[in-house]
Amino acid sequence: MRIHEVVLRKPVGDLPVATDFEIRERPLPDPRPGQELLVRVLYLSFDPYIGSRLRGRHMGLPAPLPGESLPGECVAEVLRSIHPDFKAGDLVAGEVGWADFGLLPAAGARRLVTVARPSTHLGVLGMPGLTAWAGVTQLARVRAGDVFSVNAAAGPVGGTAGQIARLLGARTVGIAGGAEKCALVRDIYGFDACVDYHAADWTTAYAAALGAGSTVHFENVGATLLATALSHIQIGARLVLCGLVEHYHGGPTPQVPIIPIIAKRAQVLGLVVYDFYARWGEWLDVAIPWVEEGRLRVVEDVAEGLSNAPLHFEALMLGRNRGKSLVKVAPDAP
Q: What angle do CA 99, 105, 110 make, to 5 degrees?
A: 90
CA dist., res. 293 & res. 112, Å (int): 17
Binding residues for its own copies (CB under 8 A):
59-60, 222, 226, 241-242, 244, 247, 253-259, 261-272, 275
Closest CB to its own copies among residues 255, 307: 255
State the minimum distance, in angstroms, from the CB of residue 89 to its own copies.
39
Closest CB to its own copies among residues 114, 231: 231
State the minimum distance, in angstroms, from the CB of residue 225 to its own copies.
12
State the minimum distance, in angstroms, from the CB of residue 206 to its own copies.
20
What DSSP element (H or E) covers 303? strand 300-304
Closest CB to its own copies among residues 88, 263: 263
- The answer to whether the beta carbons of residues 58 and 97 sit under 8 Å apart is no
How far lies 113's CA from each of 90, 285, 320, in Å? 10, 10, 31
State the minimum distance, in angstroms, from the CB of residue 306 to its own copies.
31
State the minimum distance, in angstroms, from the CB of residue 278 to its own copies.
15
Closest CB to its own copies among residues 107, 263: 263
Report the phi/psi class of residue 264: left, alpha or beta, with left for phi > 0 and alpha for psi in -120 to 50.
alpha
Q: How far apart are the first and last CA of the chain?
A: 24
Closest CB to its own copies among residues 53, 171: 53
- The answer to whether the beta carbons of residues 4 and 24 sit under 8 Å apart is yes
